[in-house]
Amino acid sequence: AALTVKFLTKRFISEYDPNLEDTYTSEELVDQQPVLLKVMDTADQDGPVNCERYLRWASAFLVVYSIEDKRSFAGCRRYLDVLAAHAGGCPRARPVLLLGNKLDMEPYRQVTKAEGLSLAAAFGCLFFEVSACLGFEAVRHVFHEAVREVRRAAERRPLFLAEERPCPPRAGPAACALSTLSTVTYKEVPSVAQAKLVTVKSSRAQSKRKAPTLTLLKGFKIF
């Protein structure tokens, strides 16, 4: 949520309720093109279950972990596995960005940058390390890059004059395995484009509760 708040308000908040879920909207200018960005901040308190609605809603995903929490990083692979399984049954691939948050906690780092890069490479994700309490530009760059990835993906897909239909739901537990994630849903429109982002985060507090929080740019819980 902290990353989301930073992106929307340019301010850092150290305390927030990770159990709340909400969707936020922001008008952005990405590469001189207006975009209506919709970010969902989720609260998946029961673990990786009932997450199909998140997968179907977003145009892109931001999977977030804390560089000072090895457990949050381990949880990311489960979510990336779910996203990969979902993409396998959907003709419209959604971009995924892996984010290592709390770069300001470098002295307490438990997850190396090389580990983050390796995991991102294994799943074909873009990788960034950021901090919600440091500069705003780096955080904004990540969200704008998510929009760019959605645009690139759209350019690679063939155009149809028929109504676009959602991907069919996937059966089995693999359909509900999200960890630290941000989802971006983006659609170009005649006037202002629209993009939806879903942020899923695993934090130390969540690890203590043993209940991962699906953080989707809510008031913004991308920690």
Q: What is the pLDDT of residues 58-96, one digit of tens each?
A: 888 888 899 999 998 998 888 888 888 877 655 457 889
pLDDT exceeds 50 at position 39: yes
- Whether 111 maps to a domain, the answer reads yes
**Could you tell me if 213 and 77 are in contact, meaning their C-beta atoms sit under 8 angstroms apart?**
no
Least reliable range by pLDDT among 14-23, 95-104, 146-155: 14-23
Distance of CA 139 to CAs 9, 131, 191, 218, Å? 11, 7, 26, 15
pTM over 0.85: no
Residue 49 located in a structural domain: yes
Number of domains in the chain: 1
Domain annotation covers residue 189: yes
- DSSP labels for 141-174? HHHHHHHHHHHHHHHHSPP-SSPP-PPPPPPSGG
Q: How far is it, in rounded angstroms, from Cα 200 to Cα 62?
A: 7
List Cβ neighbours of 157 (8 Å cut-off, separation of 6 or more). 92
pLDDT confidence bin for 164, thresholds 50/70/90: very low
CATH number at residue 68: 3.40.50.300
Domain range for 86: 2-11+29-156+169-209
Residue 71: strand, helix, or coil? helix
Q: For position 121, what pLDDT does the model report? A: 95
Confidence at residue 94, expressed as pLDDT on a 0 to 100 scale:
83
Domain membership of residue 164 (yes or no) is no
Q: Which of 18-22, 31-35, 193-197 has the lowest mean pLDDT?
A: 193-197
Q: Judge whether 63 lies within some domain.
A: yes
Q: Considering the domain boundaries, does residue 35 fall inside one? A: yes
Asked, for residue 19, whether it belongs to a domain, the answer is no
47 in a structural domain: yes
Cα angle value 192/20/136 (rounded, 5°): 55
